[in-house]
């Protein structure tokens, strides 16, 4: 997927101006966050916090010896008949999948949700080679019809309202327009049924890779993941190298925290552990199974001061709790991953200079950090990226000059006293009788949608000194 | 000789420049609670704006200055969750790996308190000078809440005033959209988030919104007035507790 993150400013502005999107976002509101809070409450707040700590520890243990666990995964998966392929970038992902299609003569792919395949623009590559790709997660199916990228990692069509979906279905299904959600879902199900039965390739992501058994664990709510991994002749699972965990026991812990953090469910509707292709005597399953392990920027986090980011289990809690995401939606972020996790991943995966706004586009409110099931200190990571931007002199000179000037004055109390005494008097005058400023000369961003309350007119230090005298 | 009750009041740059009366209200509360309070005259800024923007060197210079100004007190009290959070939580990151500085930071962090936290957990107030009457709603500022655990403290103090009717708003723990320089860099997004906050304040039925941080205060007041709300008052908790809120 092309990176559009350099245009965050304009895209966010567009999102704020889009009345239809705003009404959808308003309805989305804090829904997931409230469900997560209820699930946490029901689990027991203390126990849930202990679960977060345990989950972070599991992820750290895996990441601390990532090579070891990946090789163990490869050995165990291979032993059970899975072919493991290593992709250093998204070009290699496309190449591998196309090679597999050519080798087995595959013509039609059904896909379960995979954000890594979005990174790789896999659908476009398949279509270009004459392989039809059909998204089977309902949300992904909708945005595939609309030819749009996902706007949320677990609810990809969250930016669409019912009427928009009804129009899309009427246009593409060539049936009378429906306006009942249940009926629309049934119709999509009927449409997908044919695809499920006629596909020869199934492409899935992987929520976790279990090293000790060489298994791919998949979490879905619609059961489509199970169809994708069992019906077609060939199954290809594509996932990031960081997704490996040591044991099934670890999987059990992480699968307690994942659905609760994502949608507030105690357990997702379908949980599959896929271990190798069909064996002698199995009733179903693919003849061939491949796992593509993808780097594409992930190992850049390893060993550095931002390694915690690789703990991410893609639940979406950070964006569900993010005031910026809730105001502008996911497309503003301009690449595959929106919200706080995306604002850390995109600059590291795709180059810090290609996503300058993203680490800045956060209030550092900390809501993502406290919601994260694996305790990733997202605000701290965003701050570190800001520091890297400063060091690389990628911030505008006015901003750098502003901070330099502020720091220069604030270290010289007498100069600071003089400058601030003048400034607060001037601002007080500007505020007039109503005591507020509606256009701030050096802070026009502020007064775009707000007044600036005027200062009282004398600094605290002036008044305190006078009082002490 | 130290009495063990010497408080250094760090009023913060925003209170100093924008709302000195909040600084005096804090002073009154602390003196009323029997502490010897001093406001070091050279104080300016804790360095948070630079730190949050990735300007490590300027943040560090200001942190060094603040440490030198305040480490001699038994307690340092700050009428702001975000500035107190900077000192208590983030100074250790500013000086990461520097043993001598870290020892000083650790000592200072242990003596530094957000105002309402201090009044409840150190001063152990059981009454306050203020006698506010009205329906209020409380906005939990991000750093105070999530970095310092300031949640029940302000509500406990407000409850000492029988005339106060607390009407909690929806999403009172959600950010108001200020975010320091974010509010200027992404003014439109910031104002949109502030608008949600204002809608929740209006829906609470309160006449005043009370909070403990200047950034949120300017942001919320600025948005309320721009959207034509001339009535809802925006007050720092120190003003109410000290009985120094002005009409």
Task: Give the residue on B whose Cα is nearest the Cα of A401.
Answer: B55
Which residues in chain A are closer than 8 Å to B213, comparing Cβ atoms? Answer: none
Pair (A234, A87) in one structural domain: yes
pLDDT in tens, A30-44: 899 999 999 999 999
Task: Give the residue on A whose Cα is nearest the Cα of B141.
Answer: A365
In this complex, the residue of A327, A436, A443 whose CB is nearest that of residue B225 is A436
Pair (A422, A278) in one structural domain: no
Q: Do A460 and B23 touch (CB under 8 A)?
A: yes
Which residues in chain A are closer than 8 Å to B179, comparing Cβ atoms? Answer: 362-365
Chain A nearest CA to B121, separation (Å): 23
> How would you class B191 by CB atoms within 10 Å of its CB: exposed for 0-12, middle for 13-18, buried for 19 or more?
buried
Q: What is the DSSP letter of B186?
A: T
Tokens standing for A246? 């040591």
Secondary structure of residue A86 in the 3-state scheme: strand
Going by their DSSP bridges, the two strands B112-114 and A436-437 should be labelled as unpaired
Task: Give the residue on B whose Cα is nearest the Cα of A428.
Answer: B18
Determine how many CB atoms are found less than 10 A away from the CB of residue A409. 17
Q: Do A16 and B65 touch (CB under 8 A)?
A: no
Q: What is the DSSP letter of B129?
A: S
Q: Mutate one of B185, B189, B190 to test the A interface: name it (highest A CB count within 10 A).
A: B189
A-proximal residues of B, 188-247, CB under 8 Å? 188-196, 217-219, 221-223, 225-226
| Residues found in chain B | 247
- Helix orientation angle between B187-204 and A8-17, rounded to the nearest 10 degrees: 40
Q: Do B179 and A364 touch (CB under 8 A)?
A: yes
Displacement of CA B139 from its chain's centroid (Å):
12
**B24 Cβ partners below 8 Å, 6+ apart?**
A460, A463, B242, B244
* pLDDT at residue B247 in the model: 58
Tokens standing for A328? 């502008």
Domain assignment present for A440? yes
CA distances from residue B78 to A42, B70, B119 in whole angstroms, order as listed: 37, 11, 11
A344 close to A309: Cβ distance less than 8 angstroms: yes
Q: Do B50 and A448 touch (CB under 8 A)?
A: no
Which residues in chain B are closer than 8 Å to A323, comparing Cβ atoms? Answer: 174-175, 177, 193, 196
Q: Do B41 and A367 touch (CB under 8 A)?
A: no
Q: Do B194 and A449 touch (CB under 8 A)?
A: yes
Which residues in chain A are closer than 8 Å to B42, comparing Cβ atoms? Answer: 413
Pair (A244, A121) in one structural domain: yes
* pLDDT at residue B2 in the model: 58
* pLDDT at residue B1 in the model: 47
Domain assignment present for A106? yes
* pLDDT at residue A469 in the model: 67
**Per-residue confidence of chain B (247 residues) as pLDDT tens digits?**
457 899 999 999 999 999 999 999 999 999 999 999 999 999 999 999 999 999 999 999 999 999 999 999 999 999 999 999 999 999 999 999 999 999 999 999 999 999 999 999 999 999 999 999 999 999 999 999 999 999 999 999 999 999 999 999 999 999 999 999 999 999 999 999 999 999 999 999 999 999 999 999 999 999 999 999 999 999 999 999 999 987 5
Tokens standing for B25? 């209200």
ipTM greater than cut 0.85: yes
Q: Do A416 and B44 touch (CB under 8 A)?
A: yes
Domain assignment present for A24? no
Tokens standing for B112? 């530094």
User: What does the alpha-carbon distance between residue A469 and residue B13 come to, in Å, rounded to a whole number?
Assistant: 22
Domain assignment present for A294? yes
Domain assignment present for A360? no
Considering A299, A318, A344, which residue would you say is the last residue of a domain? A299
Tokens standing for A426? 């001037």
Domain assignment present for A39? no
Displacement of CA B165 from its chain's centroid (Å):
22
A-proximal residues of B, 98-137, CB under 8 Å? none
Chain A nearest CA to B160, separation (Å): 28
User: What does the alpha-carbon distance between residue A8 and residue A32 come to, in Å, rounded to a whole number?
Assistant: 24
User: What does the alpha-carbon distance between residue A377 and residue A342 come to, in Å, rounded to a whole number?
Assistant: 14
Pair (A288, A413) in one structural domain: no
In order of their start, the domains of chain B are 6-121 (3.40.50), 134-242 (3.40.50)
DSSP symbols for A109-132: EEE---HHHHHTTHHHHHHHTT-E
Pair (A295, A413) in one structural domain: no
Which residues in chain A are closer than 8 Å to B143, comparing Cβ atoms? Answer: 366
Number of domains in chain A: 2
B215 close to B85: Cβ distance less than 8 angstroms: no
User: What does the alpha-carbon distance between residue A212 and residue A79 come to, in Å, rounded to a whole number?
Assistant: 11
Which residues in chain B are closer than 8 Å to A411, comparing Cβ atoms? Answer: 44, 61-62, 65
Domain assignment present for A186? yes
Q: Provide the domain limits for residue A248.
A: 66-299
CATH number of the domain to which A200 belongs: 3.40.50.10420
Chain B nearest CA to A451, separation (Å): 4
Q: Do B222 and A399 touch (CB under 8 A)?
A: no
Chain B nearest CA to A213, separation (Å): 40
Domain assignment present for A315? no
Considering A299, A316, A332, which residue would you say is the last residue of a domain? A299
Q: Does B12 touch chain A (CB under 8 A)?
A: no
Q: Do A390 and B225 touch (CB under 8 A)?
A: no
Q: Which residue has the tokens 């500007």?
A: A430
* pLDDT at residue A442 in the model: 80
In this complex, the residue of A411, A443, A463 whose CB is nearest that of residue B184 is A443
Chain A nearest CA to B162, separation (Å): 30
Tokens standing for A7? 């245009």
Which residues in chain B are closer than 8 Å to A367, comparing Cβ atoms? Answer: 142, 146, 173-175
In this complex, the residue of B16, B53, B146 whose CB is nearest that of residue A459 is B16
Which residues in chain A show pLDDT less than 50? none
A11 close to B188: Cβ distance less than 8 angstroms: no
Give CA angle at A245 (A239, A246), nearest 5°: 140
Chain B nearest CA to A284, separation (Å): 49
Considering A262, A277, A299, which residue would you say is the last residue of a domain? A299
* pLDDT at residue A256 in the model: 97
Tokens standing for B29? 């509360």
């Amino acid at each position: 997927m092309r990176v559009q993150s350099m245009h965050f400013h304009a895209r966010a502005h567009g999102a704020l101006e889009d009345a239809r999107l705003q009404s959808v976002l308003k309805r989305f509101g804090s829904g997931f966050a409230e469900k997560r809070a209820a699930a946490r409450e029901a689990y027991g707040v203390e126990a849930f916090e202990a679960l977060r700590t345990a989950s972070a520890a599991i992820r750290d243990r895996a990441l601390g010896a990532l090579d070891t666990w990946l090789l163990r995964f490869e050995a165990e998966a291979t032993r059970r008949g899975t072919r493991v392929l290593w992709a250093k970038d998204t070009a290699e992902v496309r190449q591998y999948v196309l090679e597999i299609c050519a080798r087995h003569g595959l013509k039609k792919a059904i896909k379960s949700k995979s954000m890594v395949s979005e990174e790789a623009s896999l659908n476009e590559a398949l279509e270009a080679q004459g392989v039809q790709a059909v998204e089977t997660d309902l949300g992904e199916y909708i945005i595939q019809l609309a030819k749009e990228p996902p706007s949320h990692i677990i609810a990809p069509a969250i930016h669409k309202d019912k009427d928009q979906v009804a129009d899309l279905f009427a246009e593409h299904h060539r049936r009378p327009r429906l306006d009942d959600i249940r009926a629309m879902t049934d119709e999509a199900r009927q449409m997908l049924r044919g695809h499920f039965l006629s596909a020869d390739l199934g492409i899935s992501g992987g929520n976790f890779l279990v090293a000790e058994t060489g298994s791919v664990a998949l979490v879905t709510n619609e059961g489509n993941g199970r169809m994708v991994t069992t019906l077609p002749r060939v199954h290809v699972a594509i996932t990031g190298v960081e997704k490996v965990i040591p044991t099934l026991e670890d999987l059990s812990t992480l699968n307690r925290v994942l659905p609760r953090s994502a949608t507030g469910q105690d357990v997702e509707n379908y949980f599959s552990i896929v271990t190798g292709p069909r064996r002698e005597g199995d009733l179903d399953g693919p003849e061939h199974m491949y796992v593509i392990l993808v780097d594409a920027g992930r190992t850049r986090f390893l060993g550095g001061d931002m390694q915690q980011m690789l703990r991410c289990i893609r639940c979406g809690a950070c964006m569900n709790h993010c005031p910026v995401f809730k105001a502008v939606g996911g497309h503003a972020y301009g690449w595959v991953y929106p919200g706080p996790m995306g604002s850390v991943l995109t600059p590291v995966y795709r180059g810090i200079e290609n996503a300058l706004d993203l680490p800045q586009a956060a209030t550092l409110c900390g809501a993502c950090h406290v919601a994260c099931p694996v305790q990733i200190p997202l605000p701290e990571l965003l701050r570190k990226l800001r520091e890297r931007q400063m060091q690389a002199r990628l911030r505008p000179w006015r901003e750098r000059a502003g901070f330099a000037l502020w720091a220069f004055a604030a270290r010289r109390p007498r100069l600071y006293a003089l400058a601030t005494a003048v400034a607060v008097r001037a601002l007080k005058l500007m505020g007039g009788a109503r005591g507020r400023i509606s256009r701030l000369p050096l802070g026009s961003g502020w007064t775009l949608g707000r007044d600036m309350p005027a200062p009282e007119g004398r600094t605290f230090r002036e008044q305190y000194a006078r009082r002490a005298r | 000789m130290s009495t063990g009750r010497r408080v250094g009041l760090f009023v913060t740059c925003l209170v100093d420049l924008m709302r000195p009366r909040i600084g005096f209200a804090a002073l009154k509360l602390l003196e009323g609670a029997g502490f010897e309070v001093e406001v070091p005259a050279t104080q300016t800024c804790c360095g948070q704006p630079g730190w949050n923007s990735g300007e490590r060197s300027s943040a560090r210079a200001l942190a060094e200055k603040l440490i030198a100004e305040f480490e001699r007190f038994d307690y340092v009290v700050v009428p702001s969750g975000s500035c107190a959070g900077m000192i208590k939580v983030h100074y250790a990151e500013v000086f990461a790996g520097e043993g001598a500085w870290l020892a000083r930071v650790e000592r200072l962090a242990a003596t530094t308190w957000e105002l309402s936290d201090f009044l409840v957990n150190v001063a152990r107030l059981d009454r306050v000078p203020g006698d506010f009457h009205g329906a209020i709603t409380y906005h939990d500022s991000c750093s105070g809440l999530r970095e310092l655990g300031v949640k029940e403290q302000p509500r406990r103090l407000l409850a000492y005033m029988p005339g106060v009717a607390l009407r909690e708003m929806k999403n009172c723990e959600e950010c108001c959209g200020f975010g320091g320089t974010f509010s200027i860099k992404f003014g439109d997004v910031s104002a949109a988030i502030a608008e949600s906050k204002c809608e929740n304040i209006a829906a609470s039925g309160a006449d005043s919104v009370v909070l403990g941080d200047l950034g949120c205060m300017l942001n919320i007041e600025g948005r309320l007035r721009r959207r034509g709300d001339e009535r809802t008052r925006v007050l720092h908790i120190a003003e109410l507790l000290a009985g120094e809120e002005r009409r």
